[in-house]
């Protein structure tokens, strides 16, 4: 099946996950982040690189860092590294490869099948953004953005970019944020507060955000806009993705006039089309924080 088939359907709240092994454990990555899967090729070591970085690879003239997920997840390396696989991904406008031990297959799930790891111990110290039981086995969805920021903290820095905006007045407007990655939630909160937007309502997935908005609409009706003036949502989130959340908002007569900005590392041409089809007012690619703030300035009620 063409991976774009799922993108062009509106309101399905579905996702395709590539499931792979690292040791005896199963993990998942959204198909939309993956550009290709290759057999191991020559690795060039990089002096004084981060402990997670195994080196760089040259893939058709693209120089791509290779992250060893065994090191990240503290799992013993494969006894047969020549049989490992490299997952070449693209997110946050960079290409990066991940060494895994084996690829299982692609599964198509509903986001409601993916649970948040709220009950996992020390979840803030883990790389799990969700988990799902598939064919009797537990599969953990990895927070790849957190791994990337840990390796290169500059990618999570916003201070220099925000200086481009000059002095900012404090705003009384309220912004609702739906973002499943803990590291990106913190980054968004810090960024928006620095930009003058201090009144934030933050949710860890689309379902929690939608539950709050439904309750608000039921209680306040057309006055809901007095409580929330703009909504920022990621696309991939447990329980309800950002496209489904946006469609729900725009289908509700009491909420439809609240601007929705999709902020995601997955905004390709196809996904931009999907965002438009569900009524998003704007779409910004991570990590373009200045663009995000300028977009908020333009659309906030």
Q: What is the pLDDT of residue 62?
A: 92
Q: Which residues of the chain have pLDDT under 70?
A: 1-11, 118-125, 154-164, 270
pLDDT digits (tens, 9 = 90+) for 63-101: 999 999 999 999 999 999 999 999 999 887 789 999 999
Q: What is the pLDDT of residue 157?
A: 57
Q: What is the pLDDT of residue 161?
A: 66
Mean pLDDT (the chain, rounded): 88
Alpha carbon distance 238, 13 (integer Å): 10
Alpha carbon distance 136, 11 (integer Å): 27
So where are the chain's domains? 3-151, 157-299
- Structural class in CATH, domain 3-151: mainly beta
- Structural class in CATH, domain 157-299: alpha beta
Alpha carbon distance 301, 22 (integer Å): 47
Alpha carbon distance 158, 189 (integer Å): 11
Beta bridge pairs of residue 65: 56
Residues whose CB falls within 8 Å of the CB of residue 279, separated by 6 or more in sequence, listed in order: 246, 247, 249, 250, 256, 260
Are the beta carbons of 265 and 92 closer than 8 angstroms?
yes
User: What are the Cα distances from residue 139, in Å, to 130, 133, 149, 233?
Assistant: 9, 6, 23, 24
User: What residue ranges in the chain does DSSP mark as E strands?
Assistant: 14-22, 25-30, 34-38, 53-59, 62-68, 85-91, 94-100, 102-110, 128-134, 137-142, 171-178, 197-203, 230-233, 260-264, 282-285
Q: What is the pLDDT of residue 272?
A: 83
Q: Which residue in 188, 193, 189, 195 sits closest to 163, CA to CA?
A: 195
Are the beta carbons of 51 and 84 closer than 8 angstroms?
no
Q: What is the pLDDT of residue 3?
A: 43
- pTM score: 0.85
Q: What is the pLDDT of residue 267?
A: 77
């Amino acid at each position: 099946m063409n991976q774009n088939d799922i993108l062009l359907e509106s309101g399905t709240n579905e996702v395709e996950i590539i499931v792979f092994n690292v040791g005896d454990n199963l993990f998942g990555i959204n198909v939309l982040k993956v550009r290709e899967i290759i057999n191991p090729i020559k690795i060039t070591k990089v002096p004084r690189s981060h402990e997670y970085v195994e080196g760089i690879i040259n893939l058709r003239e693209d120089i791509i860092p290779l992250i060893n997920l065994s090191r990240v997840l503290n799992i013993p390396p494969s006894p047969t590294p020549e049989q490992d696989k490299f997952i070449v991904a693209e997110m946050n406008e960079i290409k990066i490869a991940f060494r895994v031990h084996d690829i299982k297959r692609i599964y198509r799930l509903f986001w409601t099948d993916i649970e948040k790891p709220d009950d996992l111990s020390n979840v803030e110290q883990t790389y799990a953004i969700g988990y799902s039981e598939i064919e009797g086995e537990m599969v953990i969805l990895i927070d790849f953005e957190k791994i990337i920021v840990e390796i290169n903290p500059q990618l999570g820095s916003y201070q220099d970019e925000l200086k481009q905006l000059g002095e900012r007045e404090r705003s009384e407007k309220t912004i609702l944020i739906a973002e499943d990655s803990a590291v990106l939630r913190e980054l968004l909160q810090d960024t928006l507060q620095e930009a003058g937007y201090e009144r934030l309502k933050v949710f860890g997935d689309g379902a929690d955000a939608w539950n709050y908005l439904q309750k608000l609409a039921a209680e306040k009706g057309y006055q809901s806009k007095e409580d929330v003036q703009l909504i920022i949502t990621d696309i991939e989130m447990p329980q309800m993705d950002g496209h489904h959340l946006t469609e729900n908002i725009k289908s509700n007569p009491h909420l439809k006039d609240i601007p929705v900005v999709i902020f995601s590392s997955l905004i390709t041409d196809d996904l931009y089309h999907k965002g438009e089809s569900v009524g998003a007012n704007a779409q910004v690619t991570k990590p373009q924080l200045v663009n995000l703030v300028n977009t908020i300035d333009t659309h906030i009620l």
